[in-house]
Amino acid sequence: MTFKRRDFLAASAAAAGIAGLGIRPSFAQAAEPVYKPEEGASLRLLRWTPFVKGDEDAWLANTAKFTEATGVEVRIDKESWEDIRPKAAVAANVGSGPDMVMCWFDDAHQYPDKLVDMTELATYLGGKYGGWYDGMKGYATRGDKFIAVPLTAIGNAVVYRDSHMKAAGFNEFPNDTGGFLELCKAMKAKGTPAGFPHGKAVGDGNNYAHWLLWSHGGKMVDEGGAVTINSPETLKAIEYAKALYETFIPGTESWQDINNNRAFLAGQVSLIANGVSVYYAAQKDPALAEIAADIRTTNFPIGPVGQSVELHQTSSLLLFSHTKYPEAAKAYIKFMMEADQMNSWITSASGYCCQPLKAFADNPIWTSSPILAPYAKASETLRPNGYAGPLGYASAGTMADYVLVDMFAAAVTGQMTPEEAMVEAERRANRYYRV
């Protein structure tokens, strides 16, 4: 969608918009950066397809406000979650395409030399709004330089039917992995099984695989970046994953990010892991009122490692150096990250998008429903996917290649023995981690 320049800009609207952009009289504070859009500037943003309509509606409305204030047209293209990564990589490599991308995880680390330095803007935003959450900041920084601007964490939580859990003999949701497995067995026996993706789902598949590994003490690499995936801890995680897989609805090895939503809302499964989008969809459809009333959410159970360890989907805004209008793009990003726009977006997204800046943690949306509680601290509690090593090209490449996801999928489906799956994951990871 493209927002075009208005023939007439009301003085009050222009003044308000310009103030939000940092385009203001000379007496303003010098610490706030000023970005003056280039003459005739227009922009193109590539974003992921929203699962919550309010997210898109608010983003488009905020973009319209920016266009009204500046006259800068902004074209917004949408792609599926799985297609964002390859399309962004192509744009980086060929030096053309969208000016900006809502990228996933540490994808910006795959082509940092193709990106505009965003340190000035990110430093300003961090100083004004209480600082960045460490995990979010890590995805967007390389050394002391911001190669992107942290945008959001899309919280991931266990979503289940309360009545089906109780029918399976559990009055409360188990908080440990042993109890969780027993619950899944009991729910399968009742004909209300669980379902977690072992397919190449950029969000749900990665979130699930990393929780499996980390909850049992495994890790892809150590602190120095040496590959350590072939370990006793990983073997325990795989054996646990195999036992869980036996309780799932058939076909989860091919699931992508949309599949568990659809299966849950169709009544095919009663326990999944997802963002708040599945609850949002159930609430909006009168035909799903019974499911909506029965939905409960909780964080993933604690495994042998003894602490909560979750990945959570993250997205950053990156700006390609091939853009013809870097000042306009920085002005746009700044405008969208300021309080009025950011709070509106978080609220309209119904808690689907968690704030990257600490000042927005008090948004009233987080206390509006107990369903949102497991999602409220996603930005604060997430563990970066490159754990325990540094984020960079290797961690980004390993995730983009689905090394961990494929390891579990191969083992649980019997394509490989657990030991073979670990060796193959080790081999593939070593292609990126050349220590």
Q: pLDDT tens-digit profile of 99-146?
A: 999 999 999 999 999 999 999 999 999 999 999 999 999 999 999 999
- Cis preceding-peptide flag for 388 (omega within 30 of 0): yes
pLDDT level of residue 435 (50, 70, 90 thresholds): low
Distance, CA of 421 to CA of 427 (rounded, Å): 10
What is the homologous superfamily of the domain 2-155+313-381 according to CATH? Periplasmic binding protein-like II (3.40.190.10)
Residue 434 pLDDT: 86
Burial pattern 111-141, b for ≥16 Cβ within 10 A else e, equals: bbebbbebeebbebbbeebeebbebbbbbbb
Distance, CA of 244 to CA of 78 (rounded, Å): 34
CA atoms within 13 A on the CB side of 210: 27
pLDDT level of residue 200 (50, 70, 90 thresholds): very high
Distance, CA of 79 to CA of 102 (rounded, Å): 10
Contact 48, 103 (CB under 8 A): no
Is residue 412 predicted with pLDDT exceeding 70? Answer: yes
Beta bridge partners of 313: 154
Q: What is the pTM of this model?
A: 0.90
∠112-117-121 over CA atoms, to 5°?
A: 140
Beta bridge partners of 154: 313
Distance, CA of 111 to CA of 90 (rounded, Å): 11
245-268 residue pLDDT tens: 999 999 999 999 999 999 999 999
333-362 residue pLDDT tens: 999 999 999 999 999 999 999 999 999 999
Looking at this protein, which amino acid is placed at residue 82?
E
Q: How far is CA 52 from the centre of its chain?
A: 13
For the residues 208-226, what does the mean pLDDT come to? 97
Is residue 5 predicted with pLDDT exceeding 70? Answer: no
Residue 7 pLDDT: 30
| CATH T-level topology, domain 157-310+401-430 | D-Maltodextrin-Binding Protein; domain 2 (3.40.190)
Is residue 309 predicted with pLDDT exceeding 70? Answer: yes
Q: Which of 71, 66, 103 is nearest to 87 (CA)?
A: 103
Beta bridge partners of 161: 295
Is residue 39 predicted with pLDDT exceeding 60? Answer: yes
pLDDT level of residue 20 (50, 70, 90 thresholds): very low
Distance, CA of 421 to CA of 410 (rounded, Å): 6
Domain(s) of CATH 3.40.190.10: residues in the chain: 2-155+313-381, 157-310+401-430
Parallel, antiparallel, or unpaired: how do β-strands 149-154 and 295-298 relate? unpaired
